[in-house]
Amino acid sequence: MKFFVDTADLAEIRDMAGAGMVDGVTTNPSLIAKSGRPLLEAIADICALVDGPVSAEVTATDHDTMLAEGRRLAAIAPNVAVKVPLTVDGLRTCRALADEGRVVNVTLCFTPQQALLAARAGAGFISPFVGRLDDLGLDGIGLVRDICEIYRAYDGIRTEVLAASVRGPLHIVEAARCGAHAATVPPQILRQLYRHPLTDAGLEAFLADWRKTGQSILDLADAAD
């Protein structure tokens, strides 16, 4: 499974990319607004930090303006994935951009039938919103499972399932078990993936035993040289 960090914070992206934890980045108008930076400048800087896809979302709701915005966003860098909402105009825009060779992330997916339409429209990614369905007492992971199962039934579908709106590590594990190609994850949840109290306790025990020896690996290496 690929991990896309869901933020427009350059410091967070740089930190996680340096640790090899990031395959791409997803943004939306809310995250860009939170960063306090001009949208085009923010996307350009993010694209320079990662090699993988960087989702940049249109803000228009009609097809003509969406298409113009999508083309402008795609021109920022080769790794921009234009993000459009799962509406009729969004699907039309997806089809047009895909026909031009652009990568499109169709977002705000809440049903398998919507995901089918996005695949038919040539989406590079479909973003089912897991947490928002769970918030309503519905089955967000079940949606991911249904989409993955449907997509696997057709060799011609190349759309990747990008689990979105995840609320914690278990959402990511369950999405991976379903066969989702990627998950987009806020930085604080991404960090939870490697943290565990038993890891911390085990490390401290090893280090305590080593300190008792009074040795240093670097000093021993220098002495050997």
Q: Which residues does 161 contact at the CB level (< 8 Å), separation at least 6?
A: 115, 125, 126, 128, 144, 147, 148, 151, 178, 179, 180, 181, 182
Residue with tokens 């049903």: 111
Instruction: Report the distance separating Cα 190 and Cα 6, nearest Å.
Output: 9
Strands 2-6 and 125-128: unpaired
- Asked if the model's pLDDT at residue 154 lies above 80, the reply is yes
Residue 220: the pLDDT is 77
Tell whether 217 is covered by a domain: no
User: Is residue 31 within a helix (H) or strand (E), and if so which, with residue range?
Assistant: helix 29-35
Tell whether 210 is covered by a domain: no
pTM flag (> 0.95):
no
126 vs 121, 135, 184, CA distance in Å?
11, 20, 11
Tell whether 202 is covered by a domain: no
- Structural contact between residues 1 and 182, judged by C-beta atoms closer than 8 angstroms: yes
Tell whether 219 is covered by a domain: no
- Nearest-5° Cα angle at 5, 202 to 100: 150
Phi–psi pair at 81, nearest 5 degrees: -110, 120
Residue 191: CATH number of its domain: 3.20.20.70
- Asked if the model's pLDDT at residue 53 lies above 80, the reply is yes
Q: Is 225 buried (19+), middle (13-18) or exposed (0-12) by CB count in 10 A?
A: exposed
Residue 225: the pLDDT is 66
Residue with tokens 């995250």: 31
Tell whether 48 is covered by a domain: yes
Into how many domains does the chain fold? 1
Tell whether 110 is covered by a domain: yes
Q: Which domain holds residue 123?
A: 2-197
**Mean pLDDT, to the nearest integer, of 20-32?**
94
Residue 222: the pLDDT is 73
63-100 per-position pLDDT tens digit: 999 999 999 999 999 999 999 999 999 999 999 999 99
34 is catalytic: no
Tell whether 206 is covered by a domain: no
Tell whether 27 is covered by a domain: yes
User: Binning pLDDT at 50, 70 and 90, where does residue 224 land?
Assistant: low
